[in-house]
Amino acid sequence: MDDLAPLLAAYDEQLRTDAETAGALAVTRHGPLLLATFGGGRGFITYRDLGGADAEGVRRLVSEAVEHYRADSGVSRIEWKTRAHDQAPGVHEALLDNGFVPDEPESIMVGAARSLAVDVSLPEDVRLRRVTAADDVRAMCAMQDEVFGEPVSSDTADAALHRLALDDGMQLWVAEHDSRIISAGRLEPVRGTDFAGIWGGATRAEWRGRGIYRALTAARARAALELGKTLINSDSTEFSRPILEKSGLRKVSTTTPYRWRI
């Protein structure tokens, strides 16, 4: 565990709070919490720590955060991410009691960008490219919604197009076969840090296990290095964690997203 400590420290020091709210439409500070509102009706709650709050204090923070979003008719869903290494007494119970439902835990992966920036062979007639055009972005977002089991929504694409319009460094990458998007993900360089995040990785089931996700990850890592970013982070499911571990990223902790919907 000792060799993971510097990576976890870098994650906590550089990536918590402000770094997680880049691109938000609005951010409100409430005690130790940052309450962010993103396009597509999504609320997101983050914090560096909970300020030493006891179980009663944590319960109060959760309840007040929900009330903040209930007052905003434009928000239909909220995400609160817990981290296994945080001091947050009673947070699981408080979230459940306020209507949140936990997803499966994800691995927090951190490592050197150069370890991912490798040459990966692709299946015949599969190509990678960065997308910016509205039609491409909408096709990419629809594919991701399908893979993640979510209803296909224009809100997802609208939010991605809003981010691109901000020109804040976010990049969208896809893999295609016969002009059909079969895998996708985004790169999120974090301003003022050594990090770029790789997020939204999704591959159609029939194309998994053929190196496409790894190639897409390598392309994003190369793009991160070109932007001067030396570290990569990702919250990974069990589909992507083994791929990132083979590339040299390390699991430094776990995170569990808790979701609330109207």
* Coil, helix or strand at residue 44: strand
CB 146 within 8 A of CB 162: no
Q: What is the pLDDT of residue 181?
A: 98
Angle between helices 134-147 and 154-166 (to 10 degrees): 130
CB 95 within 8 A of CB 62: yes
Q: What is the pLDDT of residue 2?
A: 56
Q: Which residue is listed with tokens 């190639």?
A: 215
Q: What is the pLDDT of residue 224?
A: 97
Which residues, in sequence order, are CB contacts of 165 under 8 Å at separation 6+?
none
Quote the Cα angle for 223-227-232, to 5°: 65
Closest by alpha carbon to 28, among 19, 40, 37? 37
CA 129, distance to chain mean position in Å, is: 20
Q: What is the pLDDT of residue 20?
A: 87
DSSP for residue 31: T
For the CA atoms of 18, 61, 55, 261, what is the dihedral angle to 10 degrees?
-90
Q: What is the pLDDT of residue 19?
A: 85
Q: What is the pLDDT of residue 101?
A: 98
Pair of tokens at residue 81:
């991410």
**Residues lower than pLDDT 70 in the chain:** 1-2
DSSP for residue 205: G
Domain boundaries, the chain: 2-107, 111-254
Helix H or strand E segment including 13: helix 5-15
Q: What is the pLDDT of residue 256?
A: 96
Q: What is the pLDDT of residue 220?
A: 97
Q: What is the pLDDT of residue 262?
A: 76
Q: What is the homologous superfamily of the domain 111-254 according to CATH? A: Gcn5-related N-acetyltransferase (GNAT) (3.40.630.30)
Q: What is the pLDDT of residue 237?
A: 86
